[in-house]
Amino acid sequence: MLELAGIRVDARSIGGLETAIDLPDWKVCFDVGRSPRELLRRETILFTHAHMDHLGGIAYHCATRALMGMGPPTYVVPPSAVAPLQQLFAAWRLLDRSELAHHLLPLAPGERYEHRKDVHLEAFEVPHTVPAQGYVLWKRTTRLDERFRDLPQPELVRLAREGTQLDRTDETPEVAFCGDTRIQGLDGHPAVRRARLLILECTFLDERANAEEAGKRGHVHLDQIVERADWFENEAILLTHFSARYSRDQIERLLDERLPASLRARTTALLSD
C-alpha cells in the first residue's frame, strides 16, 4: 500500500498484463484487469477502457462477490462498452448458470458519477487506440464562510434565521487517473494538472520504443513527460503501466537519469514484485 500526498493507493499495473488502482480512502477502484482477491470487497469500480488488461476481471469480480455473499457491484464504464458488456454477462450467465447481478452505468466524458455525498468522479476523454476515458475524483468540503468566522454564535443563528447562506462549499480535485492514453490525455481536463495526486501511465521509457512509437500504440513515453516537466502542479505523481520489458532497477535508474529533480522528488514509480 502506497501513501502519496496523504492518499492511500493500492495499485498494480503492468502494461498489457494487469491494471487495478484501488483507493481505499474513498472505497473506489479504477479498472480490474485480473481481479485479485483483495479487490473483491470493492463495490464500485470505474473502468477506463475495454482492453483486457483493464477490464478482463469484470465477470470474475462479479461472480466471486456473489459467491461470497456480497451485494451487487456497480461498474461505471464508457458508454460504448455497455452493449458488449451486456452480451458478455449474458454469455456468462448461460455458462455459469448464475445471476451475476450488478449495476452497469454508462458515464460519458464530461458527466459525473455521484459516489458519496462528499465525493464525485468526473470522466474525461483520453486518446488511446480504443474509446477511453480518465477520471477526476473531486472532494466537496463545506465550511463556515470566512466572512462570518469571527461572529459570535447568537449572531450566526440570527443570520441563518434570516436566510443568509453561511456555509461555503469548495470542490478540490484529489486524484486524476488517465488510464491508458497518449500524452495529449493530460489536456483532457484542466483538473488533471492540479489534482493532488496524478496517476499517469508511462509505458515506454527509453529508445527501445521512442516517443513516436509510443504515440502510435496509444501510450506515453518518458521523454514526453520530461518535455512537459514544468507543466505538472501535482503534489504527487504515480507513474504506472510500465512495459514488462523494463526491470525494477531499469525503471528507477531511467527516472533518476531523465526526470528533472523537481519532478523526480514528487514522482513514484509503481513497480511490480
Nearest approach, Cβ of 122 to Zn ion (angstroms)? 21
Nearest approach, Cβ of 153 to Zn ion (angstroms)? 55
CB-side neighbour CA atoms (13 Å) of 75: 30
Instruction: Specify the residue, 22 or 53, whose C-beta has the smaller distance to Zn ion.
Output: 53
Instruction: Specify the residue, 213 or 233, whose C-beta has the smaller distance to Zn ion.
Output: 213
Query: What is the rounded distance in angstroms from the CA atom of residue 11 to the CA atom of residue 20?
Result: 6
112-116/18-23 β-pairing: unpaired
Closest to 236 in 3D by CA, of 10, 29, 14, 6 = 6
Nearest approach, Cβ of 15 to Zn ion (angstroms)? 6
Nearest approach, Cβ of 13 to Zn ion (angstroms)? 8
Instruction: Specify the residue, 20 or 236, whose C-beta has the smaller distance to Zn ion.
Output: 20
Instruction: Specify the residue, 39 or 119, whose C-beta has the smaller distance to Zn ion.
Output: 39
Nearest approach, Cβ of 31 to Zn ion (angstroms)? 8
Q: Are 33 and 55 in contact (CB under 8 A)?
A: yes
Instruction: Specify the residue, 58 or 66, whose C-beta has the smaller distance to Zn ion.
Output: 58
Q: Are 80 and 86 in contact (CB under 8 A)?
A: no
Instruction: Specify the residue, 49 or 115, whose C-beta has the smaller distance to Zn ion.
Output: 49
CA 77 to chain centre: 12
Nearest approach, Cβ of 198 to Zn ion (angstroms)? 17
Closest to 77 in 3D by CA, of 12, 32, 38, 34 = 32
Residues near Zn ion, by CB under 5 A: 51, 53, 180
Cell numbers linked to 192 = 488533471
Instruction: Specify the residue, 243 or 268, whose C-beta has the smaller distance to Zn ion.
Output: 243
List, in order, residues 6 or more apart from 225 with CB less than 8 Å away: 183, 200, 202, 239, 259, 263
Nearest approach, Cβ of 55 to Zn ion (angstroms)? 9
- The single-letter code of the amino acid at 42 is R
Query: What is the rounded distance in angstroms from the CA atom of residue 159 to the CA atom of residue 148?
Result: 10
CA distances, 75 to each of 45, 57, 132, 138, 247 (Å): 5, 12, 15, 18, 33
Nearest approach, Cβ of 47 to Zn ion (angstroms)? 11
Closest to 179 in 3D by CA, of 65, 101, 81 = 81
Instruction: Specify the residue, 240 or 267, whose C-beta has the smaller distance to Zn ion.
Output: 240
Q: Are 196 and 190 in contact (CB under 8 A)?
A: no
